[in-house]
Chains A and B, each alone.
Chain A
């Protein structure tokens, strides 16, 4: 092994351009890495060895012809809720057993156009419902930094495979923190783009008004490049915003000065019950940004504390309808019954896991006759207040710094019996999804027990360039992102 799997997209692109390695070499290295460690990490659900090598060969041939596609020959892992033509798309659920996607999600088409090699499909919480990848029907994933701990979720497989050097980068999706939280738990970089930046076409929906696809990578610059590939207007997604995509990758330079940038510190994000190590680490990161020239200002996001309540009403309500299509009629698992109603009841009983059932039931309830105004409509109004908080805050600052999670990765099984407790951990990530703006998570230190801690940089809507610039400056002047886990 030439340790190519340990490199970043930019490092590999340089080698490829210089003819120092081929895409086939990279894919072979990554596959070897998967063979060596994925038995322990458990990130992958399916590995497309033959297809990956075939794609790598094509990439090498294209390069020989002079192609300079932005991600030519770079192997990437895909969260198992994105449709890839001809492949299963299980969403880590039994209910999609036997389903073969007949089409490519728009982001998959974009990855192909950029020359990417699709490696395989990685684990997640069933239908993206969870924060630990423990709600997964088809396999368990561990945190590469400590196999007894969760990788976070729902994009746990995406973060774990990148952290374990089992992929150069991965796609995740973020509905309430599902990219940022696992990235923080696994010491990776993850971006939740502004709602509407990335097409959702082909992303199996959890909560349509909150879902966004985004990158998980080893560095901010890699995320910037991947984000640039993923973004863009799509006429297949009515919520896709028709605006130009900045050259996120190229916009990042060697300049690490943050002079002239105002960073907001929301007092509501340093919550009661927060792990003191997390708080200290994040405050150190804030100081570091100050040392790079940024001005730190206090801001307030007063309605943040309602975000969990609002999120679990809106997300479950939308999910209750989005997941109604999994009914055993047109695809996937079917448990037969004497009539369709019996078939639905049995199929969905067997096909869905507990957390999915709980959320569908909650979402059904909050929309049901007599309760809509009290729950759903009210939550939508409080959502407006949460958005207004951000609008006001971004009048005072260019970006907001905050922790991603109240604690580092917890132990497997620690919170599975208490859904509400698990939900409350999303307090620092859900407000961004509700408001629709963008945020970045990157490593900013480690706990005394050696678990990564993440820094969240929250940007205004469509201000991805700003948060990437800040993250890149931070990363260039720290070494957290260079550390690798010892997987044992």
Chain B
């Protein structure tokens, strides 16, 4: 976890997370989160060689659903929830090609 010592670039990570931060927020979070990262470095004390990671508390397998059509939402409710809609479609600012 040596990278952690350098601290994170809050501005860059906030962009990844698509949250615009003010300069003040960036500075505040930078300090607070570096403290948290410093704290979690204590995990380095542990030797986890050969330890399996836990992704699920109780892994069960093959939780499957039959391929049978169920009920969809009422179209009007979907449109009513959307901040902007045109002709039943959800309107967003022009998507630029990625």
Contacts and interface: CB of A to CB of B under 8 A. Distances in A.
A and B touch in the complex (CB under 8 A): yes
Contact of A436 (B20, B35, B58, B63): B58
Interface residues of B, number: 54
A329 B52 contact: no
B32 A370 contact: no
Contacts of B36: 312, 362, 419-420, 423
A341 B18 contact: yes
Contact of A370 (B3, B15, B51): B3
A385 B48 CA distance: 9
A313 to B, nearest CB: 6
B19 A343 contact: no
B40 A380 contact: no
A361 B19 contact: yes
Contact of B39 (A308, A332, A361, A377): A308
A256 interface: no
B5 to A, nearest CB: 11
Contacts of B16: 364, 368
* Contact residues of A: prevailing secondary structure: helix
A357 B39 contact: no
Contacts of A375: 1, 4, 40
A344 interface: yes
Contacts of B74: 102
Give chain A's interface residue range (CB within 8 Å of chain B): 35 or more
Contact of B25 (A329, A334, A354): A354
Interface in B54-98: 54-58, 60, 63, 65, 73-74, 77-78, 80-84, 90, 92-96
Interface in A95-109: 98-100, 102-103
Contact of B63 (A238, A352, A365): A238
Contacts of A383: 53-54
B81 A99 contact: yes
Contacts of A328: 83
The 3 A-B residue pairs with the shortest CB-CB distance in the complex, in nearest-first order: A436-B57, A380-B53, A334-B83
A306 B55 contact: no
B8 interface: yes
Interface string B1-31: 1011000101001111111111001000100
Contacts of B55: 209, 380
**Residue of A196, A242, A320, A362 with most chain B CB atoms under a 10 A cut-off:** A362
A379 interface: yes
B25 A195 contact: no
B18 A345 contact: yes
Contacts of A341: 18
Contacts of B22: 349
